[in-house]
Amino acid sequence: MIITTIPELVANLSTVVFPQEDISAEHELRLRRQVRKNCDALLAYIQHRMPHDAARPGHMAILCGMRKEVLELQHECGTLALLAAQPKRRSQRIARISELYEEVRGSSVLLCQQADPRYTDAVAIAM
């Protein structure tokens, strides 16, 4: 996947809603899949932007920090603990993923403000 513009990024993101109540193992898998899909889109955009923003230290710092956050989130979503575990453990895993996702969402908005402020709201809503 190659994503070169913010509108392409927005088109490839899907809204992820983290439930407040306990969820089934199947729902957890779907949620993880959605988050991983968004991570893939964000990484594709970051990889495209890095060579272009190499001369801009502020942008590179945001891209590198965001890349680290996305990779951590992707790792967390790829870790399949026992899905048959009790709902309380599932809720704890989802809470951790939700926390990481909010960090990535914030970084995405910051990146968008730097790159093209017109799409800041679109990125925030798309995620």
The pTM score is: 0.90
Q: E strand or H helix at 1, and its extent? A: none
The yes-or-no verdict on residue 103 having pLDDT over 80 is yes
Q: What is the pLDDT of residue 81?
A: 58
**What's the rounded mean pLDDT across residues 73-97?**
78
| Average pLDDT for 90-118 | 91
Q: Please give the Cα distance from 43 to 61 (Å, whole number).
A: 15
Domain extent listing, the chain: 25-126
Mean pLDDT calculated for residue range 28-50: 94
Q: Is the pLDDT of residue 84 over 60?
A: no
